[in-house]
Amino acid sequence: MNAVLIIAKEEWRYWLRSKLAISVIALFVATLVAVTLLTAVRMGAESHERAHHQGEAEETFLSQPDRHPHRMVHYGHYVFREPAPLSLFDPGIDPVTGQSIFLEGHRQNSATFSNSAASADLGGLSWLTPAIIYQVFAPLLIILLGHGAIIREREAKALAPLLAQGVDGRVIIAGKALALTSFVLLLLIPLGFSALLAVSNGESFLASASLVGVYFLYMLVWSALTLFVSSSLPKRSAVIATLAALWLAFTLVIPAIAVNVASRGVPLAGKIETDFAMLNEANKLGDGHNSKDAAFDQLRASLLKQYNVERVEDLEVNIRGIVAQKAEKDLTDVLNTFAYKRMDGELRQVAMIADHGWFTPMLAVASASRAISGTDLVHYHLFLRQAESLRFEFVQGLNKVHAEQLSYTDDINRNRDEESWQKVLMDSSNWQVLNEFHFETASTSARLSSAGMSILMLIIWMGVLSGILLGIGGRLKP
Amino acid sequence: MSTQNPIMREFSFMVRDRAVMIWIVVVLCLSVVTVWSGLGEVQYQRDTINRLLEDDESNRAAEFSKQTDWGSAAYYSFHLTYDSPSDFAFAAMGQRDSAPWKHRVRMLALEGQIYEHDTGNPVLALVGRFDFAFFSAFVLPLVLIFLLHDLQASERVAGRYNLLVATTGSPKSSWLTRAFLRSSGILIATIVPLLIAGALSGTSFLIILSAVLMVFAYIVFWTLLCVWFASWNHSASVILSALIGVWIVLSTIVPAGGRMVIDGMVPVPSGADILMTQREAVNDAWDLPKEDTMRPFLERHPEWANYTPTEISFAWEWYFAFQQVGDQKTEQLSEAYVAGRVERDRLASLLSIVSPPALLERSLQRLANTDMQAALAYEGRVRAFHAELRAFYYPGLFGGDPFDKSALKELPSFSAN
């Protein structure tokens, strides 16, 4: 054990002597700290702004004057997607997805206004976040420091005397690995800061800690890979060229190819296209604005029977409101069927991308990071679902007011004159059917379990590489 | 052998250098992958548009068959607008992954519709497609760096440096020859697939030529940079680290910093404000006296000044008038949103001069008509088409032209360009 420590300490001493290593690390840490702070400030501002807009939208809805309830169904409401606490580290798909949805009766609108739609476009790598720095650039730093670990000793003919003294090759590799591990731990400090900040903003400790753990594992995979290449190739230039090529393949090429594979592998019809099919289904339903529509004959008959009356005018409820409720329910079922189908296709595309985590640890860590941070596709769909259920609730709440508080006779005579119009205006206290909206991430355990597969990939990467390193250490040749 | 000219000699060295040949083959394969999947995506988008056009046409015909007045014809009919991919889009998908390229609108307030978004999976937009533009702007320089950083250091390590300097006379030109031979191999591997794909997709010669020249200049830039660094008297790993550092600064740090600064410098109105203003304007109109709607409407359309509002509680004319007034009230915000995006894009294009990767990617997207400018132009065409729709229906609505189903055949159709 002592020998391991000594070797690790030597490695550190070597790094600290290298001006290049020190200056690159300093540059990296400065960038990382700057990006961490800027992202935290930016997401904090986003969060504040969206919460503010949400409050404003609710206030506006509640302060509407007395009205016919169906006017409020069309008046509609806005919801805003507040960013998850950990988005200050990994904003995930936040910038490329719409932030708000207009909710109204009889329709499911799409989310509008993404940040990327209005941002200055400066190329594929210009959305720099702390998460991207860890995923893409931290491995470079590990390669820079670690590539020489074994090959340097071999080229300096220092391995032979060590081995001859009876030092086990595995001890040498363990020492180098310990040095890299301690370096990786230092690199995690800015992430630890982000994670603590997220905890103070209401994130669960377990989720934050898991995020740190996932990145720790990821950087260990790179450290092991670096040691593996450093101890297997005969020349330092070959070692660094191989590692650089692996880095290029793992962080830039394979992820982008995975996108091509997924988009061709699961072709997905856009919303406009599925809307045509959806309209065909929806048109089979009755028009909820017209209580005399033949589609509601059965409903009418059963109502008349239930209340034991002959004419709809004699019902205790307003049939127009009842019909509106039924029509909204039926239509929503159709809309949801199509929406879920679409979400399902998108999830299959994303699963296909995540499967490429078997080929590059970068995709494994990226998927796990977004899942744990609550900034992945699952959470975007969660937002859409929460928005939809809020929409359905308040629309049906208003339809209920329509059915139970507004008399049918008044309702159909509303356009006769000013006085009859006044009769159908419902008291604005009824607008309280609108619930507050506050987007929250899924529970920690749900997030962790959706990150499970990707975490498993990282563990297997680590396991395989550790096994190889042990094998190499056992028969390390000078 | 000694009479052979130095270029031929270097060439025969290179062909025998396995590492160099492997990199050239890898670049060739990657370039083929980018253009091949680009062509597939373009075909997919074209097919989608054609399918949508058919559905759109039959859907509208079915709606029209039910309508008996101008108002409901306008209300119930949607119109497909679209932005077809250009014949060079296969090389640079650009904004098409995040900005809409298809849109269905009707004659209601446009501001309530135009920000609707029918784009694909956001995760695909986030990770980014492997298109030719990304490949050549970001991946290619790294390959050049790997190939060229140890030109001299490797010879020094092998102990051949002094011998080479002594035998070739002018060492500088010898390194340059070697570097440019390797780069030429990379250049050819990069552009041959592009040329073939261009021929397949019928891209105009001028566009392909410009793209090739851009890639050529870009490779020359990185080659010179690598040669300069490689001439340092340092170990190969130091030179490699320094070059990768330069790549990171040019491809990531400058663009990311630039984006942050530009977005901060040029504010755009928040989407929420645009939507809320529009919604309030349109909804308030139901409760306002019809006068209040018609006044601002007629200010914009003095030609309908003779129109007299009907007394009945609902009239299509009034309904569409307040839809337009809703747009008018949002006009300022909406124009500021367009102007802000134009300005941000202008500054980004200025800034890209100091970031060659961003410059190349943006330039290829400009050639492919898939950049922000193209996305904004498409939005402009949707606005213009919407205005044409209004111009088509207003004589019927406000001028009292009798409803004539056959006149609907004269409906403006969205022209793709």
- Tens of pLDDT, residues A36-48: 999 999 899 999 9
CA B11 to CA A24: how far, in whole Å?
36
Residues whose CB is less than 8 angstroms from the CB of residue B371 and which lie 6 or more positions away in sequence, other chains included: A121, B94, B95, B345, B362, B365
Q: What residues of B are in contact with residue A123 (Cβ under 8 Å)?
A: 137-138, 251, 255, 352, 355, 357-358, 361-362
CB nearest B272 (choices: A20, A78, A269):
A78
Smallest Cα distance from B345 to chain A, Å: 5
Q: What residues of B are in contact with residue A270 (Cβ under 8 Å)?
A: 48, 102, 118-120
Nearest to B356, CA basis, from A132, A125, A28: A125
Contact A353 B127 (CB under 8 A): yes
Q: What residues of A are in contact with residue B279 (Cβ under 8 Å)?
A: 75-76, 78, 102
Digit-coded pLDDT (tens) for B47-95 = 999 999 999 999 888 888 888 888 889 998 999 999 999 999 999 999 8
Predicted pLDDT of residue B165: 65
Nearest to A186, CA basis, from A207, A209, A216: A216
Q: What residues of B are in contact with residue A236 (Cβ under 8 Å)?
A: 236-237
CB nearest A236 (choices: B137, B237, B272):
B237
Digit-coded pLDDT (tens) for B90-140 = 999 998 888 889 999 999 999 988 888 787 889 998 888 889 999 999 999
Q: Which of A43-57, A369-383, B171-185, B375-389 has the lowest mean pLDDT?
A: B171-185
Give strand pairing partners of A426: A67
Average pLDDT score over residue span A209-227: 97
Predicted pLDDT of residue A316: 86
Smallest Cα distance from B118 to chain A, Å: 6
Q: How far is CA A226 from CA A141, A147, B122, B385, in A?
A: 11, 6, 33, 58
Q: Write the Ramachandran bin of B165: left for phi over 0, alpha for psi from -120 to 50, otherwise beta.
A: alpha
- Cα A264-A268-A273 angle, rounded to 5 deg: 140
Mutation site, B34, B130, B261, interface A, largest A CB count within 10 A: B130
CB nearest B130 (choices: A244, A257, A275):
A257
Assess A38–B contact: CB distance below 8 Å, yes or no: yes
Question: Which chain B residue has the Cα nearest residue A51?
Answer: B272
Question: Which chain A residue has the Cα nearest residue B40?
Answer: A264
Predicted pLDDT of residue A281: 87
Task: Pick the more confident residue, A364 or B241.
Answer: A364
Question: Which chain A residue has the Cα nearest residue B129?
Answer: A256
Predicted pLDDT of residue B1: 44
Assess A217–B contact: CB distance below 8 Å, yes or no: no
Average pLDDT score over residue span A416-429: 86
Smallest Cα distance from B303 to chain A, Å: 31
Percent of chain B predicted with pLDDT > 90: 54
Question: Which chain B residue has the Cα nearest residue A273?
Answer: B52
Percent of chain B predicted with pLDDT > 70: 94
Q: What residues of B are in contact with residue A140 (Cβ under 8 Å)?
A: 244, 248
Average pLDDT score over residue span B186-215: 96
- pLDDT band of residue B171 (cuts 50, 70, 90) is low
Average pLDDT score over residue span A432-439: 91
Smallest Cα distance from A37 to chain B, Å: 13
Digit-coded pLDDT (tens) for B252-305 = 999 999 999 999 999 999 888 888 888 888 888 888 888 888 889 989 888 888
How far is CA A250 from its chain centroid?
A: 21
Average pLDDT score over residue span B195-218: 96
- How many residues does the structure list for chain A? 478
For residue A262, pLDDT beyond 70: yes
- CA pseudo-torsion sign A320, A321, A327, A331: positive
Q: Which of residues 136-155 of A touch B (CB under 8 A)?
A: 137, 140, 144, 147-148
CA A131 to CA B235: how far, in whole Å?
32
Q: What residues of A are in contact with residue B283 (Cβ under 8 Å)?
A: 71, 74-75
How far is CA B94 from its chain centroid?
A: 3
Q: Which of A237-241, A368-372, B224-228, B316-320 has the lowest mean pLDDT?
A: A237-241
For chain A, the straight-line distance linking the first and the last C-alpha, in angstroms and rounded, comes to 22
CB A442 within 8 A of CB A378: yes
Q: What residues of A are in contact with residue B263 (Cβ under 8 Å)?
A: 119-120
Q: What mean pLDDT value characterizes chain B?
A: 89
Predicted pLDDT of residue B417: 65
To the nearest 10 degrees (0 to 180), the angle between helices A205-232 and A361-373 is 170
Q: What mean pLDDT value characterizes chain A?
A: 91
Predicted pLDDT of residue B144: 95
Contact A147 B362 (CB under 8 A): no
> Around A21, how many Cα atoms within 13 Å sit in the side-chain half-sphere?
16
Contact A113 B116 (CB under 8 A): no
Contact B150 A122 (CB under 8 A): no
Contact B352 A126 (CB under 8 A): no
Query: What pTM did the predictor assign?
Result: 0.91
Contact B98 A116 (CB under 8 A): yes
For B93-144, give the DSSP string.
-GGGGTS-SEEEE-SS-GGGTTT------HHHHHH----HHHIIIIIHHHHH
For residue B2, pLDDT beyond 70: no
CB A132 within 8 A of CB A155: no
Q: How many CB pairs under 8 A join A and B?
A: 248
Task: Pick the more confident residue, B315 or A150.
Answer: A150
Q: Of the spans A216-220, A271-275, B181-185, which averages the highest pLDDT?
A: A216-220
Contact A263 B124 (CB under 8 A): yes
Percent of chain A predicted with pLDDT > 70: 100
Average pLDDT score over residue span A221-248: 91
Give strand pairing partners of A103: A77, A108
Residue B416: φ, ψ to 5°:
-65, -25
Question: How many other β-carbons are positioned within 10 Å of the β-carbon of residue A213?
Answer: 15
CB B351 within 8 A of CB B258: yes
CA dihedral of residues A260, B126, A110, B413 (deg, nearest 10): -60
Contact B123 A38 (CB under 8 A): no
CB nearest B122 (choices: A120, A148, A380):
A380
Contact A122 B352 (CB under 8 A): yes
Give strand pairing partners of B79: B105
B16-24 LR contacts (CB < 8 Å, sep 24+): B19/A241, B20/B147, B20/B182, B20/B185, B23/B143, B23/B146, B23/B147, B23/B186, B24/B185, B24/B186, B24/B189
For residue A455, pLDDT beyond 90: yes
CB A386 within 8 A of CB A394: no
Assess A103–B contact: CB distance below 8 Å, yes or no: no
Predicted pLDDT of residue B176: 85
Encode B288-311 in three state secondary structure. CCHHHHHHHHHHHCHHHCCCCCCC
CB B329 within 8 A of CB B278: yes
CA A204 to CA A47: how far, in whole Å?
18
Average pLDDT score over residue span B157-186: 76
Digit-coded pLDDT (tens) for A40-74 = 998 999 999 999 999 999 999 999 999 999 989 99
Mutation site, B127, B337, B341, B378, interface A, largest A CB count within 10 A: B127
Encode A226-289 in three state secondary structure. HHHHHHHCCCHHHHHHHHHHHHHHHHHHHHHHHHHHHHHHCCCCCHHHHHHHHHHHHHHCCCCC
CB nearest A38 (choices: B44, B124, B260):
B260
Mutation site, A23, A121, A230, A425, interface B, largest B CB count within 10 A: A121
Mutation site, B31, B103, B124, B313, interface A, largest A CB count within 10 A: B124
Smallest Cα distance from A423 to chain B, Å: 15
> Around A91, how many Cα atoms within 13 Å sit in the side-chain half-sphere?
29
Predicted pLDDT of residue A315: 84
Contact B121 A273 (CB under 8 A): no
